[in-house]
Amino acid sequence: MPSLKELRNRIASVKATQKITKAMQMVAAAKLRRAQEAAEAARPYSQRMGAVLANITAAVGDGGDAPALMTGTGKDDVHLLVVCTAERGLCGGFNSQIARFARDHIRRLLAAGKTVKIICVGKKGYDILRRDYGSLIIDRIDLREVKTLGFVNADAIAKKVISLFNEGQFDVATLFYSEFKSVISQVPTAQQIIPGAAPAVAQDDAAGGAIYEYEPEPGAILSDLIPRNISVQIFRALLENAAGEMGAKMSAMDNATRNAGDMINKLSITYNRQRQAQITKELIEIISGAEAL
Please report how close the Cβ of residue 15 comes to another protein at its closest, in angstroms.
Answer: 42
Residues 216-235 touching another protein, rule: CB under 8 A, are: 216, 218, 220-221, 224-225, 228, 231-232, 235
Distance of closest approach, residue 36 Cβ to another protein, in angstroms:
13
Distance CA 285, CA 292 (A): 11
Q: Which of 91, 280, 261 is nearest to 186 (CA)?
A: 91
Among 19-27, 48-56, 93-101, 279-287, the segment contacting another protein (CB under 8 A): 48-56
- The 65-84 contact track toward another protein, x by CB under 8 A, reads --------------------
Whichever of 110 and 207 has its CB closer to another protein, that residue is 207
What's the distance, CA 145 to chain centroid?
17
Helix (H) or strand (E) segment spanning residue 139: strand 137-141
Helix, strand or coil for residue 216?
coil
- Is 52 a residue that touches another protein (CB under 8 A)? yes
- Which run of H or of E encompasses 120? strand 115-121
Quick one: 81 or 225, whose CB is closer to another protein? 225
- Residue 143 touching another protein (CB under 8 A): no
Query: Which one among 116, 119, 120, 154 touches another protein, defined by CB under 8 A?
Result: 154
176-215 mask for another protein (x: CB under 8 A)?
A: ------------------------------xx--xxxxxx
Longest dimension (CA), the chain: 115
User: Cα 94 from chain centroid?
Assistant: 7
Could you say which of 80, 83, 84, 91 is catalytic?
91
CB-nearer residue toward another protein: 215 or 291: 215
Q: Does 60 bind another protein (CB under 8 A)?
A: no
Q: Burial code of 41-59, b = ≥16 C-beta within 10 A, e = fewer?
A: ebeeeeeebbbbbbbbbeb
Span 234-263, contacts to another protein by CB under 8 A: 235
In whole angstroms, the minimum distance from the beta carbon of 55 to another protein comes to 7
Cβ-Cβ contacts under 8 Å for 155 (sequence gap 6 or more): 231, 235
Residue 6: name the closest of 272, 271, 287 by CA: 271
Task: Compare residues 151 and 189 and give the one whose CB is closer to another protein.
Answer: 151
Segment contacting another protein by CB under 8 A, of 44-52, 89-97, 108-116, 129-137? 44-52
Give min distance, CB of 119 to another protein, in A: 21
Q: Indicate if 84 belongs to the active site.
A: no
The C-alpha atoms of residue 186 and residue 178 are separated, in whole angstroms, by 6
Local structure of 190: helix, strand or coil: strand
The sheet carrying 78-84 orders its strands as 137-141, 115-121, 78-84, 172-182, 185-194
Residues tagged active-site: 91
Please give the residue ranges that form the binding site for another protein (CB under 8 A): 38, 41-42, 44-46, 48-49, 51-52, 55-56, 150-152, 154-155, 206-207, 210-216, 218, 220-221, 224-225, 228, 231-232, 235
